[in-house]
Structure 1
Amino acid sequence: MGTDSSDWHLALNYDQWVALSVSGPRPPARYKHAASLVDEKLYITGGSRNGRYLSDVQVFDLRNLAWSTLKLNMEPKADKTTDGSSLEVLPASSGHRMIKWKNKLLLLGGHSKDNFDSLKVRFIDLESYHCGVMETSGKVPVARGGQSVTLVGSKIIMFGGEDSQRRLLNDVHVLDLETMIWCALETVQTPPVPRFDHIAAVHAERYLLIFGGCSHSIFFNDLHVLDLQTMDWTQPQIQGDLVTARAGHAGIAIDENWYIVGGGDNRSGAPETLVLNMSKLALTVLTSVKGRDPLASEGLSVSSASLDGEKLLVAFGGYNGKYNNEVFVMRPKPRDSLHPKIFESAAAAAAAASVTAAYALTKSGKLDFIKTEESNFKVVQNDGSQQDFSLEINAIREENKVLESSLAEVRAENSSLKGKIEETSSTYTELSKELHSVQGQLVAERSRCSKLEAQITELQRMLESLQSIEEEVQVLRRQKSALEHDMEPDAAVQRQSSGGVWRWIAG
């Protein structure tokens, strides 16, 4: 796309990716970098290329479509790694995450050549370009990369990742940005299996959604939801299009729609751009690109921008057999905004709507609430008339009873399943031990068989040698027999001659 106008975005078609024509030099191609869009500027930090970690900070201006390199003012190196060496303030790293908080960019985690035990939170001040490490306290998480980081109000929610020893994680930690105190969340029900390179979003400031990612050998296309009020994990069914498993994809939420781009499974990239309606949990394929397109890459980033009131998706980087440094934009078509319905029934929603309406009228000063009996709830208007909300309240109570009963049944079933899982796990552990024992015996038997085979081979060689010696002995015996046969006449003549001599001597 080539244009010199600052309102180039107005010519974009809806729901189609377009590569921007960039003026001036581009930054080095990369993947697994971190990205954040602030005031019409896309900030890119770090990443990886050809097995080498990067530490630069690049800025792309969406108005003039030009890149620039951000020069930072570094704090002194005050922290230490596990081997006692100084810790870099902004080390070359990949698999880290970056979010905007007030006038700062916060960088969390990531893999680098530095070895340290706890996760570091670094910052870039967007006014002074000062860079440093933020001091945190509380239950600080173990260092990791490939985790998800989501901002909810003044708190960061972090899930999963892979630590420096390549151990996979599925823990949930929260950082309060007002106090810089970490805490670990204790969740219930079955969490997602440990993973990294997944994506996360928060819906209605209550539900944390986790999609995709991978272990060291398995790629996922599952969706998990954590209710941040009850701390319950669930795995709801996704409606709509089926999608392939993927990791290294990117996601950004706009209102109730979660846009998911790229990713792959180490064999091929995911060409679809997906949109998940987080209220309906309905997934659709928005558009697709060709298999080798930069948007079908692992480790790319996607951010949300607003130009002149128009929402844009901005994608950068990634790897799909080659490293990319192109900038792509999409103008998503405005979609209907719905009320959260993830765990709401129609009856409860209707009843709640009635009570909410009554409460709104009361706040306006036009109504007064009175409570008559426990089962009655009426509103007295200024003209003296009353409106009875008892039916709505009773409906909510009955709905609540049904939900509590259902919840008790589900918890009982989950408890039973947990017991079966523990029993199966115990059986599996015993079988694993037995298998290891049998495998050890098998190795010993194989070693003994190898030694016996070597002895048999040696004996066969000796037997072949004995047969050869036996044949030589037979030949020698035949030669001896023939020689003895040839010597018999000479022996007879000698005996006759000797007899004559003795007779002469005797005579």
Structure 2
Amino acid sequence: MNFFHVFFILNLILIFANCQNIPDSRFEQTGVLVNEKIYFFGGILQNTSHNNEVWYLDFSKSFNITSPSWHKDVELPIKYDFGTSCGSRIDNFTVFLIGGRMSPINYSSSGLVFNSKISQWSILNATGFNSSFASRIAIQSIIDDYGKIFIFGGRTQGQSIWFNDMNVLDITTMTWTTLFQPQDITKSVEYAAVLSNNQIIYIGGRINSGKSLIDMNNIRIFDTKSFSWSIKNASGDNISARLGHSAVLTQNGDIIIYGGAENSTASATTFVSSPQVIPLIAILNTNTWIWSNPNISQTNAPPSLAFHSSVLYKKLFDCCIW
């Protein structure tokens, strides 16, 4: 893995997209890779206004990395933030948006469906829908190769109710299942998750109704075949606990995490006053479960980010809107 190459792409897209002011800076948006395009949905703008914008970068066409060509797609039918999205691996053009803050609030739907081929929105209708997802936030969805979307934990708006359930949406049958979970599975939010070899790896986040952060050496794993949990104890370099960070899985099985906030009471709006996480970028080897802190030049380095979006496109770690 060429870490300078990865960081260079991340850095330039961040800085120059901001200079162009297209799109406006934002946080709590959700992002997803669909074929050669990276889509970003909704989010909260710097003036704290919610929005329904949809933007994408098209990697099938060459562009100047210092001035990437942004494209605006059809808007969401609602204003949307702090939810989760994933793209179908079956048809490679359908995107599912689940949970999140919606304005106006739409309690009749479990989410939204976006057809990226024809730029069309529809309501997600799933049998057995868990109604708490009409207002559940601070979650991340993972989709496997068989069309099953897995969503763990989260909380309601206002942090009044926290969850430790695993929910599964089968997009081939449009059926929703809420799995029974052992009581020792801690309720958590604002974690990062990736799928590797039929196992969802959960890293970091907040627990205990927001009073503490999860140790980065405490790696929780959910097996998507046996529907069972296990724990891996990581070691290596010291990685500070965090929330609101992102993670991507590389082709060789490494997990790259980026950013986040160190204060357990931090939110996207109070992140600027939160101590910066150390290190900003860390790598977890999933063969040895050892953390490492890569030696990356800080020349032209972007600021620390939290509640952002990151997507791995081939070997490019693209973390473009914040």
* Cα distance, 1:272 vs structure 2: 2.0
| TM-aligned CA distance change 1:194 to 1:188, over 3 Å | closer
**Equivalence map 1:7-406=2 (5 Å):** 13-17=4-8, 18-20=11-13, 21=16, 25-49=21-45, 50-62=47-59, 63-64=62-63, 65-72=68-75, 90-101=77-88, 102=91, 103-117=93-107, 120-143=110-133, 144-153=136-145, 154-166=147-159, 167-188=161-182, 190-191=184-185, 193-205=186-198, 207-214=199-206, 215-221=209-215, 222-255=218-251, 256-265=253-262, 266=266, 267-270=274-277, 271-287=279-295, 294-306=302-314, 311-318=315-322
CA distance in 2, matches of 1:58, 1:263: 23
* Cα distance, 1:100 vs structure 2: 1.3
Structure 2 residue identity aligned to 1:208: I
Match in the other structure for 1:442: none
Contact 1:93 1:112 (C-alpha < 8 Å) held by counterparts = yes
CA distance in 2, matches of 1:282, 1:119: 42
What's the C-alpha RMSD, in Å, of the aligned pairs?
A: 2.6
Structure number with higher relative contact order (C-alpha < 8 Å, ≥ 6 residues apart): 2
* Cα distance, 1:183 vs structure 2: 0.5
Contact 2:109 2:125 (C-alpha < 8 Å) held by counterparts = no
* Cα distance, 1:152 vs structure 2: 1.1
Give the length in aligned residue pairs. 285
CA distance in 1, matches of 2:257, 2:235: 16
Q: Larger helix proportion, structure 1 or 2?
A: 1
SS at match of 2:27: coil
**What TM-score comes out, normalization by structure 2 length?**
0.79
In structure 1, stretches of 5+ residues that fail to align are: 1-10, 73-88, 319-507
CA distance in 2, matches of 1:30, 1:199: 19
SS at match of 2:319: strand
* Cα distance, 1:112 vs structure 2: 2.8
Structure 1 residue identity aligned to 2:81: S
Contact 2:44 2:50 (C-alpha < 8 Å) held by counterparts = yes
**What TM-score comes out, normalization by structure 1 length?**
0.52
Contact 2:221 2:230 (C-alpha < 8 Å) held by counterparts = yes
* Cα distance, 1:204 vs structure 2: 0.8
Superimposed CA distance per residue, residues 357-378 of structure 1 (whole angstroms, 9 cap, x where no aligned partner): xxxxxxxxxxxxxxxxxxxxxx
Contact 1:219 1:246 (C-alpha < 8 Å) held by counterparts = yes
CA distance in 1, matches of 2:97, 2:247: 18
SS at match of 2:50: strand
* Cα distance, 1:254 vs structure 2: 2.4
Contact 1:289 1:295 (C-alpha < 8 Å) held by counterparts = no
Structure 1 residue identity aligned to 2:172: E
* Cα distance, 1:250 vs structure 2: 0.8
Which is greater in Rg? 1
* Higher mean displacement: 167-176 or 223-232: 223-232
SS at match of 1:264: coil
* Cα distance, 1:51 vs structure 2: 2.7
Q: Larger strand proportion, structure 1 or 2?
A: 2
Contact 1:294 1:317 (C-alpha < 8 Å) held by counterparts = no
Structure 2 residue identity aligned to 1:314: D
* Cα distance, 1:118 vs structure 2: 6.8
Superimposed CA distance per residue, residues 284-317 of structure 1 (whole angstroms, 9 cap, x where no aligned partner): 1235686x964511111110113xxxx2110122
In structure 2, stretches of 5+ residues that fail to align are: 267-273
